[in-house]
Chains A and B, each alone.
Chain A
Amino acid sequence: MIAIPSIPGFLTEPNGPIGKPVSRVDGRKKVTGNAHYAAEFTLPDLAHGCIVSSAIARGRITRIDTAAALALPGVIHVFTHENRPSLAWFDRKWKDDDAPKGAPFRPLYDAEIHHALQPVALVVADSFELARYAARLVHIEYEAAPHQTDLRANRANSFTPGKDKGGFQPPPKPRGDPEQAFLASPVRVDAEFTQAAEYHNPMEMHATTVLHHDDGTLTVHDKTQGVQNCHTYICNVFGLAKSAVRVMSPFVGGAFGSGLRPQHQLFMAMLAATQLKRSIRVELSRPQMFSFGHRPETIQRVALGADRDGTLRALIHEAVQESSRNENYVEIVVNWSGQQYACDNVRLDYTLSRLDVHTPLDQRAPGAATGVPALEIAMDELACKLGMDPLDLRLKNYAETDPNTGNPFSSKELRACFRHGAERFGWAKRSPAPRSMRDGRELIGWGMAAGVWDAMQGQAAAKAVLGVDGKLVVSSATADIGTGTYTVMTQIAADVLGLPIEEVTFCLGDSSLPAAPVEGGSWTVSTVGSAVKAVCDRVRSQLIALAGKLENSPLKGVAEEDMVFADSHLIVRNDRSRRLSITEVMRGSGTLSIEEEARALPYLLARARHTFATHSAVFVEVRVDEDLGTVRVARVVSAIAAGRIINPKTARSQIQGAVVWGIGMGLEEEAFTDHRLGRVMNHDYAEYHVPVNADVPEIDVLFVEEHDDMVNALGAKGVGEIGIVGVPAAIANAIHHATGVRVRDFPITLDKVLAGLR
């Protein structure tokens, strides 16, 4: 065991706010319209920009005629590659924290077109309406070049990427003799799985408002998951002093990964603001939300070999994904398969195929939401072949330690997820044969799947200021993309210092605050929460020191570990009558405020020797109309093991939202590309389908107990992504159980079910 720093004071008070279903501290602002988003900031002379998108997928611009647009009174300028100023030269300057290996896309760089909907011009005008109108008048001629956008046609041209992106691990080396073991296995499954490209499509479209102040400094309101990431990017690209720009993003209307990298509307708004010395807003249209980053289309093969008792003998998982020509976007797709089940003969392969598309981008549980469902459907197929309950098959091959590394898990309560989830769902009552449960014309199917996601932690700093009035302000440059960061950080700070929630304010989304990484990967509670705890611990120590020095202090000589903080008081643990309020301590010592800054790092030693992961078990009931093939998800139970749950209310919302998305992945979401045009055709909310209320049944979320004193000082792993991972597979497995039809091609639209029902 690794020695873990002790946790002073934390969670010592049973009535503290940690673990309580605290309502969102920003909820009132949001429902009353007082939360302002990037496109809602304004100044009196605000100009408006409208982006023109490329009509072709590859080739070059031969002519741009902006005369008609510029002739309109009120049109200020049209930026194109022909008149842009010279900007940063080296690729390095264009990189951001989430950039994969390669040369980042540079908007308006030259005449070359690399992908459909590439931004090719920015029209700036006095009003939004005028800018949009003028954008229609920009006449562009192209010379098209042949393009490739079809992964199926290009899968053979794939290559094995390296460690091409932060957080990415190439698959481990093969172990055992998987091919031989597979052939020698008495029971085998070998199948191909496909997954359509998906677009993030948060409700709030990407937007940037740059406010140009009289002194030449800029305030940039951007839709982003990382204000400092954007800050660095624009300073590098536009050659600005760090102090001349401040990036703000206090509220984000959903992002799901789409805000991890600076997007081109930020570039465009900055270009116009710096060139025209004017405030400007640029907002993408819904179709333009299909002009950057997406969950890449993927083709996979999973082959499983097992003994007749269900023992896994061989596991082969191969995946090929699309990336752009300019960058190697990579995500961990297959590695989970080597981690989830104990198996001695494993081969995992991951390759990329370059297409004429924009670079894909992390989307909720990137890689896991694609790879794990393929594995989990294959496991279901194997269970069917073995005549075994799918849950029993998973228990039979349960990985006690991480088979990829041989390391123990810091904690892993997946077994409890299986048990509690199955109990809540009533899994024991399942009749095993497909097509054996029905209700009138509806076939009923019960399916399950397991899920896994990394419990990551980065580095972050936080600042705390405690006033003599007992009010605490804590800040860090993280984001709240709707996940509940404000609330959870407030709870952590309030807990450490024994303050009521109302006395604590947490600030985020401002690049001038202490450093924090992009909000993503489910690591914000772990990363920023640890920093918040660390900085509050310092304030706490200061208070204890001050209290000990006071004249006639009832707390004199009390050791730090014997002190608790509650109700804005410092209290002796074993004699609660000995107490002083925070205000008394500060007044008494003549302290107006206590200011601290702290930085938290992951426990690197523990991390080197353990695997850190969240787990889930998902149980789904579907109803399939046996004549029409329509599928309805009737019930979902999701059991989650994610360490300590800081706020069961916001955590439940995360899981429920992820399950809804899992339903979308499973049944609906799909970007249709016309490969002749190299263009996504269903680029709006009417035809790009995500679940609507009528598609979403009751979602029952369980958090199983999981103690983890290695993951971080909070014992919490993060719940932003684990909720989606198992869902598509559980749905596919339930459809098979209902109908006997096995669909391995997501989304499972009714035509695919119908084809099997014939």
Chain B
Amino acid sequence: MRSFTYSRAGSAAEAVGRAAAGTAFVAGGTNLLDLMKADVLRPEGLVDISRLPLDRIEETAEGGLRLGALARNADTAYDERVQTRYPMLSKAILAGASAQLRNMATNGGNLLQRTRCYYFYDTATPCNKRQPGSGCGAIGGVNRIHAILGASDQCIAVHPSDLCVALAALEAVVRVTGPDGERSIPFAELHRLPGDRPEIDTVLRPGDLVTAIDLPARGFAEHSTYLKIRDRASYAFALVSVAAGLEMDGDTVRDARLALGGVAHKPWRDPEAEAALIGKPATPDRFRAAARVLLRDAKGHEHNSFKIELAERAIVRALTEAAERKGASRP
């Protein structure tokens, strides 16, 4: 870890004002501090935002919920309203990290956590995301946990969050305040694909502070699930995860949301795959067909090709569970 300055922001405006180049906001610190210890991130200054009053969970005028950026992951997952109206979100959060981490981690920090790519973490190795132009260690290297969709020849990292996969499926909106004022970013547009700028994870600009995440009214509470597949039963990042939400009309799918985690640089959604479900009977064959649409461009590497088939199976399983499930699925 390198020396840095530290200051605590008294208000959101103050935080934005202090966010000069080379500084970083610190919320729960569970990702940022690890990366600083590993010498991956070297901010010259930290602006502590953890005490800003952005930790509430409130109703929105549109009938949804506003999750404060500084609400803790655990408090969000166990919020009564989240559990009953957005069970897939609660389940997704609780599938992530450990109880201790979820108690520290904030919603805003979770959105902006960095990839767990081994090379990103090891400064003795090449990584375009950490050091643009140094090459991608994972391509041709150890890539069991890497992307099968939307990757580039510069970077095949995945976004590691569980929470984000559910937020993508729910079409949440990210509220930001920055040097240019306030704006709202549809969730699908927050994270970007690596392309030839893998060092940039999101569309946020320097000094942008996430203030809240808005959940729309529709929570797919009756027919939804979050399925996470990993190398051990807990405390491991997703190899593949699926957030699935259906609206059912008898046995027919009226509307569908499907997002995948662990497969791409961002939570992966595909309107064509969802369209392949809508108006169709809820059968495993239909689910499989939709999965194949979603995975049509999937490409594996030496150690992660299994994810393609695993993702297909996971989608079928998640959709089957969501279709069967009636009522909130409490984790």
Contacts and interface: CB of A to CB of B under 8 A. Distances in A.
A619 B313 CA distance: 30
A755 B310 CA distance: 10
A676 B125 CA distance: 11
Contacts of B219: none
Contacts of A681: 118-119, 122, 125, 137, 141-142
A674 B137 contact: yes
A726 B239 CA distance: 29
B306 A754 contact: yes
Interface in A684-707: 684, 686-687, 689, 691-695
Contact of B231 (A628, A668, A758): A668
B2 A133 contact: yes
Interface centre among A129, A667, A687 (most CB of B within 10 A): A687
B311 to A, nearest CB: 11
Contacts of B260: none
Contacts of A673: 142
A133 B3 contact: yes
B229 A628 contact: yes
Contact of B317 (A136, A627, A674, A749): A627
Contacts of B116: 686-687
Contacts of A682: 118, 142
A133 B234 contact: no
A132 B118 contact: no
A290 to B, nearest CB: 11
A683 B234 CA distance: 19
Contacts of A684: 121
Interface in B102-128: 116, 118-119, 121-122, 124-125
Contact of B2 (A53, A136, A694, A751): A136
A463 interface: no
B317 A695 contact: no
A679 B119 CA distance: 11
Nearest to A54: B124
A629 interface: yes
A692 B122 contact: no
B309 A758 contact: yes
A142 to B, nearest CB: 10
B310 A628 contact: yes
Contacts of B239: 750
A629 B306 CA distance: 11
Contacts of B38: 287
B232 interface: yes
Interface in A611-650: 627-630, 632
B313 A628 contact: yes
B16 interface: no
A687 B118 contact: yes
Given A55-B124, A691-B232, A132 B1 contact: yes
A322 B133 CA distance: 35
A674 B236 contact: no
Given A674-B125, A674-B141, A681-B122, A628 B233 contact: no
A677 interface: yes
Interface residues of B, number: 34
Contact of B137 (A677, A687, A693): A677
Interface centre among B118, B236, B310 (most CB of A within 10 A): B118
Contact of A693 (B3, B231, B234, B309): B234
B229 A750 contact: yes
A672 B144 contact: yes
Contacts of A686: 116, 237
A695 B233 CA distance: 6
Interface residues on A, range: 35 or more
Interface string B218-232: 000000000001011
A629 B233 contact: no
B139 to A, nearest CB: 11
A692 B101 CA distance: 15
A692 B235 CA distance: 7
Interface in B274-331: 306, 309-310, 313-314, 316-317
B251 interface: no
Contacts of A55: 124
A750 B122 CA distance: 26
B39 interface: yes
A632 B234 CA distance: 12
Contact of B142 (A133, A672, A758): A672
Interface string A408-446: 000000000000000000000000000000000000000
Interface string B5-41: 0000000000000000000000000000000001100
A444 B89 CA distance: 31
Nearest to A55: B124
A133 B1 contact: yes
Contacts of A750: 229, 231, 239, 310
B250 interface: no
A758 B308 CA distance: 13
Nearest to A751: B306
B295 to A, nearest CB: 15
Contacts of B121: 684
Contacts of A694: 232-235
B140 interface: yes
Interface centre among B38, B39, B234, B313 (most CB of A within 10 A): B313
Contacts of A56: 124
A629 B239 CA distance: 12
B234 A674 contact: no
Contacts of A691: 232
A695 B142 CA distance: 25
A2 B261 CA distance: 67
Contacts of A668: 231-232
Contacts of B236: 689
A58 B229 CA distance: 37
B31 to A, nearest CB: 11
A749 B313 contact: no
B314 A749 contact: no
A692 B233 contact: yes
Contacts of A679: 122, 124-125
A691 B116 CA distance: 19
A754 B308 CA distance: 11
A557 to B, nearest CB: 67
Interface string A118-157: 0000000000010011001000000000000000000000
Contacts of B309: 754, 758
B109 to A, nearest CB: 16
A672 B118 contact: yes
B285 to A, nearest CB: 14
Contacts of A692: 232-235
Given A133-B1, A133-B3, A689 B317 contact: no
Nearest to B126: A677
B142 A674 contact: yes
Contact of A677 (B39, B125, B313): B125
B232 A754 contact: no
Contacts of A695: 232-234
A695 B310 CA distance: 21
B234 to A, nearest CB: 4
Contacts of A133: 1-3
A692 to B, nearest CB: 5
B69 to A, nearest CB: 24
A686 B234 CA distance: 11
Nearest to A633: B233
A689 B232 contact: yes
Given A750-B239, A754-B313, 18 more contacts: A56-B124, A132-B1, A136-B1, A630-B229, A668-B232, A677-B124, A677-B137, A679-B125, A687-B145, A689-B231, A692-B233, A692-B235, A693-B234, A694-B232, A694-B234, A694-B235, A750-B310, A751-B310
17 contacts: A132-B1, A133-B1, A628-B229, A628-B310, A628-B314, A629-B310, A668-B231, A677-B125, A679-B124, A681-B122, A681-B125, A681-B137, A689-B236, A691-B232, A695-B232, A695-B233, A754-B309
Q: Which 5 A-B residue pairs are closest in the complex by CB-CB distance?
A: A694-B233, A55-B124, A751-B306, A681-B118, A694-B234
